[in-house]
Structure 1
Amino acid sequence: MKILNYKLLLCVLAFLSFSNYSSGQDKISKALNSWNQGTIPYAYFDNLPETDSIAYLDTREKEEFEVSHLKNAIWVGYKKFDEKKVLKTITDKSQPIIVYCSIGVRSEDIGEKLKELGYTKILNLHGGIFEWKNKGGTVFNDKEIATDSVHAFSKHWGKLLQEGIKVY
């Protein structure tokens, strides 16, 4: 019986040490699985088409957007989400839209609001701007100049950002 318990203990310790070294991407996926409902399908960094026909909507707060955002992204906010601005800016409700935030939680909420407004082609960027930067994507500041700085939202969520310079 003691040998069985010892083997079980070794297995648990091996699992715990492995999970401490899991990648940030795995942690992002786990966070999304626990926080999101899956109501807006994901778009993945590795499979995004290179096209200007997609509207990228940044659903973070204005100060986050000013530090870092995706190229040509439109800021729509979260707490101050402005439906009228979106309806004025994107008049074609079949326009492909990718919403994003830090990792993809707030953007799912905004994606749901867009769905309620009648937009039909909405995807949520899996891992948000953090995964974008972690995988080598370029981000831009408020002057539309490429930057290594990324607004990390908070110390807690900032742990998921592995690349770039964290700004709080």
Structure 2
Amino acid sequence: MTNGWRALVVVLGLLTLPACGQDTSVSEAISPAYRQMLKTLYRETVPTIQPAALADMLRAKSQKVVLLDTRTPAEYKVSHLTGAKFVNFDSFEKNEFTGLSRDQTVVVYCSVGARSERVGERLKALGFRDVRNLYGGIFQWVNEGRPVYNAAGPTRQIHPYSALWSVWLRQGEQVYK
């Protein structure tokens, strides 16, 4: 990440910090600064799906959805969406994604959605027909109060990727492992 991007992320993060006494309930909408940051990161090459819509889709179970966590092994180990399959971002370009039907819905996610969008682009290039990127990534999923899991079961722990990106994670316990 260039110094310019780092500065932008930090400044936007500081702009979203709540004022003293301000209500920061889980149900609050995505912050304008976070939305703007995502707009600068996303190429808009993969359709997004809002966390609430994904939660509804998973709950309904009427449609087979494959979740692909496209972060690093350390991030995945701390927590992930239930049932998510791990796809290492550092080596996804060599992955042919054999064993996955090109006709089923695939939802990719990472911390905020930038890395997962790259993986989504790869999936589309390989002929997957219904690929979506979780808008705001696992950070927005957790910020909206949705559950994450690790090998032991439900957890509040989230790997914030880096101290720079941690400003966007408002819920859960930040853990670097």
Fold conserved (TM > 0.5)? yes
Q: TM-score, normalised by structure 2?
A: 0.77
Q: Bigger radius of gyration, 1 or 2?
A: 1
How many angstroms does 1:20 deviate by?
4.7
Which residue of structure 2 aligns with residue 149 of structure 1?
157
How many angstroms does 1:27 deviate by?
2.9
Matched-pair contact (CA < 8 Å) for 2:147–2:154: yes
Which residue of structure 2 aligns with residue 134 of structure 1?
143
Which amino acid in structure 1 is aligned with residue 78 of structure 2? V
- The reply to whether residue 53 of structure 1 matches residue 64 of structure 2 is yes
Which amino acid in structure 2 is aligned with residue 101 of structure 1? C
Task: Give the whole-Å Cα distance in 2 for the aligned partners of 1:20 and 1:80.
Answer: 33
- Ranges in structure 2 where 5+ consecutive residues have no aligned partner: 1-14, 19-28
Which residue of structure 1 aligns with residue 23 of structure 2?
none
RMSD of equivalent CA atoms: 1.7
Residues 1:20 and 1:60: Cα distance change in structure 2 (over 3 Å): closer
| Paired residue total | 146
Q: Once the two structures are superposed, what CA deviation does each residue of 1:3-38 show, in whole Å capped at 9, x if it has no partner?
A: xxxxxxxxxxxxxxxx55577643332121101110
SS at match of 2:91: coil
- The reply to whether residue 44 of structure 1 matches residue 50 of structure 2 is yes
Written as runs of structure 1 = structure 2, the 5 A alignment for 1:8-47 is: 20=16, 25-47=31-53
Deviation >2 Å, runs of 4+: 19-28
Q: Once the two structures are superposed, what CA deviation does each residue of 1:28-74 show, in whole Å capped at 9, x if it has no partner?
A: 32121101110001100122212261100000011100001000000
Which amino acid in structure 2 is aligned with residue 69 of structure 1? H
How many angstroms does 1:162 deviate by?
0.2
Which residue of structure 2 aligns with residue 12 of structure 1?
none
- The reply to whether residue 62 of structure 1 matches residue 62 of structure 2 is no
Return the match for 1:166 from 162, 166, 174.
Answer: 174
Task: Give the whole-Å Cα distance in 2 for the aligned partners of 1:20 and 1:45.
Answer: 20
Matched-pair contact (CA < 8 Å) for 1:24–1:161: no
Matched-pair contact (CA < 8 Å) for 1:139–1:148: yes
Task: Give the whole-Å Cα distance in 1 for the aligned partners of 2:87 and 2:50.
Answer: 21
- Ranges in structure 1 where 5+ consecutive residues have no aligned partner: 1-18
